[in-house]
Amino acid sequence: MHDYADQLYERQQSGLLRRLRQLPKDVIDLASNDYLYLARNPEVIEAGISTLKEFGAGGRASRLVSGNLLPHQQLESVIARFKHSDAALVFPSGYHANLSAVTALAQTGDFIFCDKRNHASLIDACRLASSQNIEVRYFGDLKKLENLLESTFTKHPDNYRFIVSDGVFSMDGDVADLPQLLHLAEKYDARILLDDAHGTGTLGATGRGTVEHFGLENHSRIIHIGTLSKAIGGQGGFVAANQEIIDWLINQARPFIYTTALNPASCASAQKSFEIIERAPQMINQLRAITQQLAHGLQELGYSAILQPSPIIPVIIGEAQDALNLSNQLLQRGIWCPAIRPPTVPAGKSRLRLTANLSLTQEDITKVLSAFKSTFRNS
C-alpha cells in the first residue's frame, strides 16, 4: 500500500505541501479571480436572490431530464450575444465545459494539439480524449505546433484537427497568439478550442475576450469556452459556438448529460454580470489602470513582476520555500497572496500570482506596495 504519510512529509519538507486555508478577515485579497468585483455587486446578488426564491436552490436534475429551466436559457442567450456566437450552452463549472468540449467534439481518428501550459482541465480533457483513440500531441511554441499540424495534414488530410489553448494562461497572465493560431488553423484546416476563462470580462475594449483584444472578428473556426467564476463573479462554465456544435454537445458531451444542471440562481447572477459589463465597459479600463499601477510599483521595488495584458501579475521568486516565506510575511502585514509552487508551475519558477481587481482602492495599493517593500530584503 502507498505510504501517504511519508509522501506528505516529503512534500512538507520541500515546501510543496498544500493545505486549505480560510481567507482571514480584514486582509487585502490579491489572489481572487473576481476581477471586476461583481461577486459582491448588489445587482448581481439581488438577481440571484430573486431567482433563488422563484426556482429553488438546486438545478433539480440533468438538463435533459427536468433541470432545463428558464434561467439557463436566458443566460445562454446573453452569452451567445456577448460572444457574437449563434448559441451557447452552460455547465456547472468551467472544468465541465472543457471536459465536454474536448471529449465530445474530437472523435476517433482525430488529432488534438494541446499547449503544454493549458489549464489542468484542458490537460485532463485531452488525457480522456486519448483513451478514445484520438491522438493528442503537445506543443510549447508555435513552431512546434506548425510542424505537428503540417505532418498530420500531409499524412491524414481528411482527419479533423483541433488546436486547444487557453486565451490567457492563468499562471503567467500572458495572452495566446490567437492571430497566429487562427492562421495555422486556416492553413492546416483545424478548429480552435479557446478557453477564455481569464480573458472574458478583462480583455478587449468591451471585455469580450481574446478575440476582441486582437481586433479579430468572430470566426467559425473558433469555439469559445469560458467560466462564470472569474470576471463574471459567479459560478459555472459555458461553450459558445454555432448551433450545430451546441446541439452536438447536448447529445454527446457526457459531463453535460450526466450531471445536475447549474443552479438557477447562479444563472441569474451571471446574466446580470454580463449586462453590467455591457453597459459599463469603462470597468475594463479601470481594471487595467490598477493592474499597471501594481506591476510598475513592484518593478520599481526590484521585484520580478511582469505586466501582462490581463489582470494577472506573476512575481517570480524561484524556490518554493522562498515563495512560501514571502507569502507568509505579506500575510502578517495584511496581504493575502498565496505562493504558487510546483507542479502548478515549473521547478525554480515558484511565484506569487497577484491579481488586480476593482475592489482595490488607492489606499490598498499603497499598503500592498509598502508591504512588499518591507519584505524585499527577506524575500
Tell me which amino acid residue 102 is. V
Cell numbers representing residue 119 in the block: 489549464
Is the predicted pLDDT of residue 83 greater than 60, yes or no? yes
pLDDT (0 to 100) of residue 46: 98
d(CA 38, CA 18): 28
Predicted TM-score (pTM) of the model is: 0.94
Q: Which of 9-18, 51-60, 212-221, 309-318 has the lowest mean pLDDT?
A: 9-18
Could you read off the pLDDT of 69-81 as tens digits, one per residue?
999 999 999 999 9
Could you tell me how far CA 322 lies from the centroid of its own chain? 26
- CATH of region 42-279, choose from 3.40.640.10, 1.20.120.80, 3.90.1150.10, 1.10.1040.10: 3.40.640.10
**Whether pLDDT at 55 is above 80:** yes
Pairwise CA distance, residues 169 & 198, whole Å: 8
Find the Cα–Cα–Cα–Cα dihedral 179, 185, 186, 192, rounded to 10°. Answer: -80
Q: In degrees, to the nearest 5, what angle opens at C-alpha 231 toward C-alphas 166 and 140? A: 15
CA 225/CA 27 separation, integer angstroms: 32
Task: Tell me the pairing of strands 350-355 and 339-340.
Answer: antiparallel
- Which grid cell sits at 255? 459531463
pLDDT band for position 24 (50/70/90)? confident
Name the class of domain 281-378: alpha beta
Could you tell me where in the chain the CATH 3.90.1150.10 domains are found? 281-378
Q: How many CB atoms lie within 10 A of CB 3?
A: 8
Cell of 39: 461577486
pLDDT confidence of residue 14: 86
Instruction: Region of 334 please: left (phi>0), alpha (psi -120 to 50) or beta.
Output: left
**Residues 188-213, mean pLDDT to the nearest whole number:** 97
Distance CA 313, CA 292 (A): 9
Residue 254 CB partners (closer than 8 Å, separation 6+): 100, 103, 104
Q: What is the mean pLDDT of residues 259-276?
A: 98
Q: What is the mean pLDDT of residues 193-200?
A: 98
Q: Kindly give the residue spans of alpha helices, DSSP state H, lying in 131-236.
A: 142-155, 178-187, 210-213
Q: Report the alpha-carbon distance of residue 205 to residue 228 in Å, rounded.
A: 19
| Angstrom distances, CA of residue 77 to CA of 40, 154, 253, 271 | 24, 40, 20, 9
What is the per-residue pLDDT for 21? 83
| Average pLDDT for 200-217 | 96
For residue 6, the one-letter residue type is D
pLDDT at 213 over 50: yes
- Rounded to the nearest integer, the mean pLDDT of the chain is 95
What would the mean pLDDT of 218-247 be, rounded to a whole number? Answer: 97
Average pLDDT over residues 262-283: 98
Nearest-angstrom CA–CA distance, 375 and 370: 9
> Partners of 137 in the beta sheet?
113
Q: What 3-state class would DSSP assign to 217?
A: coil
Locate cell 454527446: which residue?
A: 252
Distance CA 129, CA 131 (A): 5
CA 68 centroid distance within chain: 25
Amino acid at 376: F
Confidence of residue 25 (pLDDT cuts 50, 70, 90): confident
The pLDDT of residue 20 is 87
Q: What percent of the chain has pLDDT over 70?
A: 99
What whole-number distance in Å separates Cα of residue 271 and Cα of residue 222?
Answer: 23
**Is the predicted pLDDT of residue 313 greater than 80, yes or no?**
yes
Contacts of 28 (CB under 8 A, 6+ apart): 334, 335, 336, 360, 364, 367, 368
Q: How far apart are CA 376 and CA 379, in angstroms?
A: 5
Scan for cell 512588499, then name that residue.
372
Cα separation, 96 vs 225, whole angstroms: 10
Q: How confident is the model at residue 379 (pLDDT cuts 50, 70, 90)?
A: very low
Cα separation, 278 vs 204, whole angstroms:
12
* In the chain, ranges of CATH 3.40.640.10 domains: 42-279
**Partners of 339 in the β-ladder:** 352
* pLDDT tens column, 109-152: 999 999 999 999 999 999 999 988 899 999 999 999 999 999 99
Do 208 and 84 meet the contact criterion of CB atoms below 8 Å apart?
Answer: yes
Q: What is the pLDDT of residue 311?
A: 98
